[in-house]
Structure 1
Amino acid sequence: MSRRSKEHHYVPKVLQRQFLADGDFIWYSARDQSGSYCAPYPKHIDKCFVRRNYYTILARMMPSDIVEKNYYGDIDNYLGGVLPEISRALEQDRVPTFHGGALNSIRRVVIEMTKRTPEYASKIDEEAVGQRVVEDTLADLCDDMSDEERQSMQDVLHQPDRLKELGRTVRVRSIIQHSDEVNDALRGLSVHWTKITTHHSYILSSLTTYRIGNGGSNGLSNPDAEIWMPVSPKHALVLARNIEGRLPPIVVDPPHHVRQVNEHAARHSNEIASHSRKLIESLAGRGADTNRIEKMKGAGVLPSHW
């Protein structure tokens, strides 16, 4: 049996690698208990945008990493294959194009990246959800249970960790469910790209994708809604409705709008990262954590040139 995966990235390392500062490190900042961003510091991408057991579910009442390995593993493998091709094309001023099944795949992946983030499920109380599952099971199946089964279920109500496992299973399974309504809306979206021609750059955030309503709702029912996903410091993928072919395949993003996109990301995310120390400091609102950096260098975690 293979070892169960427990460290789950919601921003895959294949995407983080497009934003590296040096080696496998990226400038990183996360919100602290006060809600403010901590002083930025270099962090290895193995430890960035990751939570323990975030996608673990109960399968036959045992913890399973099937969603992490089979579902998100497939998405990460897809991105690992397509992102380098996209970067090469954009760097050469070629338009990455998608048609047929490839177009369906890229649209689907952008939506899955939107849903997999902790911000998407931030309002879910997993323990409360688990409690409702147990209570509903007892109410619906109580007469069909043996005394031993009934008592076992009632005991779970006094086990917070078990309730959280049940609630997490509900949360994960609900998020990976496909919706016919969403699929229909996706079919109306075409793929476009932005590029930055100045020294400005996009950041990477735990939000991963940004839904923009352009004056209306940011839901897919709004014909003017767009979904942005930065794929490198200089480029973003944009899903939008190209009514009457008015949208060009590649748009130059002006500096003031790049800043707005970054500020939106920082405002609605709990973690932000960048290849640029200066950029992440400006968005975190504070200078880098020099004490932490010196300790990391002294321990050999960071190279001396940092």
Structure 2
Amino acid sequence: MPPVPKRHHFVPEFIVRNFRGPDGLVAFYDKENAGDGVVDRNPSKVFYRDHLYTKTDANGTRDVSQELAFSAVESDAAKVVQKVVLAARDGSLASLSPAEKYQWDIFFYDQWRRVPDMRTSLFSPDYLEELKASALSDFERDYRPMTDEERAHFSDHSVVERMNQYAMVGMLEKRSPMILDALRRRGLGVVRLEKSSKSFILGSRPVVKLTQPGQTSLDDPTVEMWMPVAPDVMIGMGKPGREDVMAYANDAWVRGFNMSVVSNSSQIVSCSAALIKSLLKPR
């Protein structure tokens, strides 16, 4: 039997490797360990958590099928990303087949929803506690009063953690057809740097959604979503009507985007430690 994968990367290594510096390492900053400052890390040792997508039953049996499913998606997406990046650096917009565009849409959607920062923003500890209390209340209403032993069981921290993990991974096993259809209706969007002296950063929440007040629908042409896939290239949504688009980002736009990454992510990766430090200093 093959070994059970333990280290689950929520941002794929093939993306992180694109942000390596000349020494083969990435500059890394973790807000939860801000005292460490910006440190150098091997690309394989950032943006991961042990058994992040593992479901564990009451007997301790581990199910890593979701991690394996994400790995399969990443393998397909890596070829598409390389094709788009090479074309962008050559000053052109890659022409993707319908299959390649679908592979990108799946990967892009997963990168938007699968990361811990997204989970934290949607499901606070208080919210999860309310969900548990509501579920137990519904059980008693529909079936019978719970015993003291059962109440103690569902108050056990390890049991609650396992149940929450099981529910979270279960949610990731299904993709919304509505969102995938919305992404399909948008073309491919590519942004390349106007100046080679600038760089995009990569966050632990790698997909950044840019919206106007009150406008959140993916069918709205003013709504943008972007993911840096290299220091000089981002990929995201094109225009409605499946229209592909390529644009060049000037200095002000790049810094504004990078600041959005800093604001929305708990961890940051860059090819430059100096860049991360400059973004952490208010102007």
Judge same fold: TM > 0.5, yes or no: yes
Q: 1:136 to 1:183 in 2, by over 3 A?
A: farther
- For residues 204-243 of structure 1, the aligned pairs below 5 Å read 204-214=202-212, 216-242=214-240
Write the distance in 1 (CA, Å) between the matches of 2:13 and 2:189. 23
The one-letter code sitting in structure 2 at the alignment partner of 1:10 is: F
Give the one of 226, 247, 251 matched to 1:251: 247
- For residues 92-171 of structure 1, the aligned pairs below 5 Å read 92-122=90-120, 123-125=122-124, 128=129, 131-132=132-133, 135=136, 138-139=139-140, 153-171=150-168
Per-residue displacement from partner, 1:210-244 (whole Å, max 9, x unpaired)? 11114543442534211101111011112033469
Write the distance in 1 (CA, Å) between the matches of 2:130 and 2:172. 14
Write the distance in 2 (CA, Å) between the matches of 1:276 and 1:26. 8
Task: Flag structure 2 segments of 5+ consecutive residues without an equivalent.
Answer: none
Is residue 201–residue 234 contact of structure 1 (8 Å, CA) maintained in 2?
A: yes
Tell me the CA shift for residue 90 of structure 1.
2.0
Write the distance in 2 (CA, Å) between the matches of 1:128 and 1:244. 42
Q: 1:26 to 1:241 in 2, by over 3 A?
A: same
Q: 1:214 to 1:124 in 2, by over 3 A?
A: closer
Tell me the CA shift for residue 155 of structure 1.
4.5
The one-letter code sitting in structure 1 at the alignment partner of 2:129 is: A
Q: 1:65 to 1:216 in 2, by over 3 A?
A: same
Write the distance in 2 (CA, Å) between the matches of 1:236 and 1:90. 9
Cα RMSD of the aligned pairs, angstroms, is 2.9
TM-score by length of 1: 0.79
Pair member with larger Rg: 1
Q: 1:224 to 1:216 in 2, by over 3 A?
A: farther
**Match of residue 39 from structure 1:** 37
Q: 1:163 to 1:129 in 2, by over 3 A?
A: farther
**Match of residue 68 from structure 1:** 67
Per-residue displacement from partner, 1:98-122 (whole Å, max 9, x unpaired)? 2322222211211111001112111
Per-residue displacement from partner, 1:277-299 (whole Å, max 9, x unpaired)? 2211112339xxxxxxxxxxxxx
Write the distance in 1 (CA, Å) between the matches of 2:200 and 2:99. 29
TM-score by length of 2: 0.85
Write the distance in 1 (CA, Å) between the matches of 2:43 and 2:13. 6
Is residue 218–residue 226 contact of structure 1 (8 Å, CA) maintained in 2?
A: no
Is residue 15–residue 79 contact of structure 1 (8 Å, CA) maintained in 2?
A: no
Write the distance in 2 (CA, Å) between the matches of 1:240 and 1:125. 33
Write the distance in 2 (CA, Å) between the matches of 1:76 and 1:110. 10
Q: Which moved more, 1:224-233 or 1:79-88?
A: 79-88
Give the one of 170, 174, 179 matched to 1:173: 170
Tell me the CA shift for residue 180 of structure 1.
2.7
Q: 1:216 to 1:154 in 2, by over 3 A?
A: closer
Pairing 1:194–2:186 present = no
Give the one of 89, 106, 109 matched to 1:91: 89
Task: Flag structure 1 segments of 5+ consecutive residues without an equivalent.
Answer: 287-306
Is residue 202–residue 233 contact of structure 1 (8 Å, CA) maintained in 2?
A: yes
Tell me the CA shift for residue 37 of structure 1.
7.6
Q: 1:237 to 1:167 in 2, by over 3 A?
A: same
Write the distance in 2 (CA, Å) between the matches of 1:207 and 1:8. 15
Tell me the CA shift for residue 152 of structure 1.
7.0
